[in-house]
């Protein structure tokens, strides 16, 4: 018996099968299409899952995959699930960049309850255009005002985030969402306790933009 065992060697443990973004875990990698429809930060890139976060809302929760490639940019991936499922790929912009992309007075209307913000993308200076042009629609309208949630730096897929006596244990935030007319681009704004604000430029792409998946160790 020992002889036969030696002859055929140890059975290899089958590698995890990755068939969709929802299978991704820390250490896994994806490669993206090299189509010119994608911005330079995504086009033909190989990206590694650095962490998986969870957004918890009153009636739902959804994962966010934090991806890094060879470039300096961090890419945030989530899934937009409606009649069809799309990749929601996002990049964070700082306040200085927001001031150059949008009129700040119009941007401030996002947080006014009695206003439905409408934003027009400004003509961008060259260096910003190269970086962000393909992340932006021309006109945006607000579709969501003050959605409350909790942000967790943990992967809670398939389980409920822990609760303390006050309710949830993540970082509380309010989110605001604007879409362009074709619903191909979005602006996601998250305001945390203490006023810290994250602004993300989001673009929606077909699942087929992920060309390959590689399981991590």
Q: Say whether 137 sits in a helix, a strand or coil.
A: coil
Closest CA to 39 of 203, 210, 183: 203
CA gap 37, 35 in Å, rounded: 5
pTM: 0.90
Instruction: Give the pLDDT confidence score for residue 116 in this predicted structure.
Output: 87
Distances (CA, A) of 117 to 56, 141, 179, 199: 25, 6, 11, 15
Instruction: Give the pLDDT confidence score for residue 143 in this predicted structure.
Output: 94
160-172: pLDDT as tens digits: 898 876 666 799 9
Pick out the chain residues at pLDDT < 50: none
Instruction: Give the pLDDT confidence score for residue 1 in this predicted structure.
Output: 53
CA gap 52, 153 in Å, rounded: 7
* Contact yes or no for 207/20 (Cβ under 8 A): yes
Instruction: Give the pLDDT confidence score for residue 162 in this predicted structure.
Output: 86
Instruction: Give the pLDDT confidence score for residue 16 in this predicted structure.
Output: 85
Instruction: Give the pLDDT confidence score for residue 124 in this predicted structure.
Output: 95
């Amino acid at each position: 018996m020992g002889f036969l065992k030696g002859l055929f060697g140890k059975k290899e443990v089958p590698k995890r099968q990755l068939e969709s973004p929802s299978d991704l875990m820390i250490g896994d990698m994806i490669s993206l299409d090299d189509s010119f429809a994608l911005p330079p930060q995504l086009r033909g890139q190989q990206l590694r899952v650095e962490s998986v976060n969870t957004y918890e809302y009153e009636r739902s929760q959804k994962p966010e995959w934090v991806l890094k490639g060879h470039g300096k940019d961090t890419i945030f991936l989530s899934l937009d699930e409606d009649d069809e499922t799309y990749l929601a790929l996002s990049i964070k912009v700082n306040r200085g960049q927001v001031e150059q992309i949008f009129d700040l007075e119009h941007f401030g209307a996002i947080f006014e309850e009695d206003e439905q913000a409408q934003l027009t993308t400004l003509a961008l200076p060259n260096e910003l255009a190269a970086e962000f042009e393909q992340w932006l629609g021309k006109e945006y309208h607000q579709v969501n005002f003050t959605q409350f949630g909790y942000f967790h730096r943990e992967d809670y897929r398939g389980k409920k985030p822990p609760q303390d006596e006050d309710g949830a244990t993540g970082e509380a935030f309010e989110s605001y969402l604007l879409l362009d007319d074709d619903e191909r681009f979005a602006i996601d704004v998250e305001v945390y306790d203490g006023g810290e604000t994250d602004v993300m430029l989001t673009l929606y792409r077909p699942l087929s933009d992920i060309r390959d998946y590689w399981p991590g160790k």
